[in-house]
Amino acid sequence: MLTDGERAFLLRAWREHPVAKCGQCSSSFRTTELAADRIGGLDSVCPSCRGNLTESIREHLIACGGAASWDAQNVCAEATTLRETASWLRKEARRLREAASVVRVEAEAATRRARDARHDPPSKQAGQPATQFVKS
């Protein structure tokens, strides 16, 4: 049986050219022909004679020049995606920091207004002059 990593690499890198040759019946198979039997857990078994194709597939994984090329392309594509994601995250973090700063300033102002309202006499709050009491 192939490992999950081997299977994933085969499905991503080699869809349309032969990846295995059966030692018993000499048939060659593409990944898509082998993947059809995955449901039954027989993805590395020859669909014609049920011979084990695991070693043939692994040899292909090691020997095929397409693997290095595809892997290099994949690494470059992933690096590009990561770089773009990191850039977006930095911009989003900056935007969120700025928004948080605005909210903090607004909250401080509201707190200050509430505190001032508690300490000022009611007549000052209404914009009327304070009444003075005369002692007799």
pLDDT tens readout for residues 52-72:
888 888 888 777 766 666 666
**What is the pLDDT, as a whole number, of residue 131?**
54
Gap between the Cα atoms of 67 and 72, Å rounded: 8
Residues 53 and 17 in one domain: yes
Residue 61, both tokens = 């994984």
Gap between the Cα atoms of 80 and 54, Å rounded: 33
83-108 per-position pLDDT tens digit: 899 999 999 999 999 999 999 999 99
Residue at 124 is within a domain: no
Residues 88 and 46 in one domain: no
Residue at 45 is within a domain: yes
Residues 47 and 81 in one domain: no
Stated as kind and residue range, the H or E segment containing 84 is helix 65-119
Domain that holds residue 24: 4-63
Any idea of the CA torsion for 96, 102, 108, 110, to the nearest 10 degrees? Answer: -120
Gap between the Cα atoms of 37 and 135, Å rounded: 103
Indicate the number of domains in the chain: 2
Residue 99, both tokens = 């928004």
- What percentage of the chain reaches a pLDDT higher than 70? 65
Residue 39, both tokens = 């449901």
**What is the pLDDT, as a whole number, of residue 79?**
73
30-49 per-position pLDDT tens digit: 777 775 555 555 467 787 88
Residues 8 and 35 in one domain: yes
